[in-house]
Amino acid sequence: MKKILFLAGLVSGVVLAQNWRVLTKEGIKAGIRTGRKLREISQQAIDDIEDVTAEAIDELSEQEAKV
């Protein structure tokens, strides 16, 4: 059993050694995609907050003008 685990570890090490660059690059690309999506979502949230703030200011101005 120990020899099988050792051989499995050795084989997986060889496979990873041969493909580490591809795996690393794919991981980096996934991180970049995630960052871009989060930036997009954050910008949408900021835009929504700015819209709601502008609406609140307009409503407040209208209410104060009536008084």
**Domain ranges in the chain?**
16-67
Residues 5-19: what's their mean pLDDT? 84
Residue 2 confidence class, pLDDT cut points 50, 70, 90: confident
pTM listed for this prediction: 0.59
Question: Looking at residues 15-41, what average pLDDT do you find?
Answer: 91
CB of 23 closer than 8 Å to CB of 16: yes
Buried b (16+ CB within 10 A) or exposed e, 31-52: eeeeeeeeeeeeeeeeeeeeee
